[in-house]
Amino acid sequence: MMQCKEIARLLSEAQDRKLSWRERIGLRMHVAMCRMCQIYSHQLATLTRVYRAASDRAPECCPGELGDSRKQRIKDALKSGPGDA
């Protein structure tokens, strides 16, 4: 029987690589019986969802401004040409 610590690691790794069948079965059996790991798994899914939404929407919706002086600096740089950038 795998321990919760191992399960937490596998729940994450399942998002990044294909688990072996042995890992998948161990994971499934443990999670079916362990309330804490069910919660953890659910939270990881929520986490991924909200961070992806944050990344999708950041350019349009969210705080953070370049500011006038930086914009001017960039415009000046553009006027003097691309150079070796």
Q: How far apart are CB 22 and other proteins at their closest, in Å?
A: 16
Q: What is the DSSP letter of 63?
A: S
Q: How far apart are CB 68 and other proteins at their closest, in Å?
A: 10
Q: Please, which residue, 20 or 59, has the CB nearer to other proteins? A: 59
Q: Could you count the other beta carbons within 10 Å of the beta carbon of residue 7? A: 19
Contact of 40 with 8, CB cutoff 8 Å? yes
Radius of gyration of the chain (CA): 23
Q: How many residues does the chain have?
A: 85
Q: Please, which residue, 29 or 46, has the CB nearer to other proteins? A: 46
Token pair for residue 83? Answer: 């150079």
Q: How far apart are CB 33 and other proteins at their closest, in Å?
A: 16
- Positions in the binding site for other proteins (CB under 8 A): 4-5, 8-9, 12-13, 15-17, 36, 39-40, 42-44, 46-55, 57-66, 70-71, 73-75, 77-79, 81-83, 85
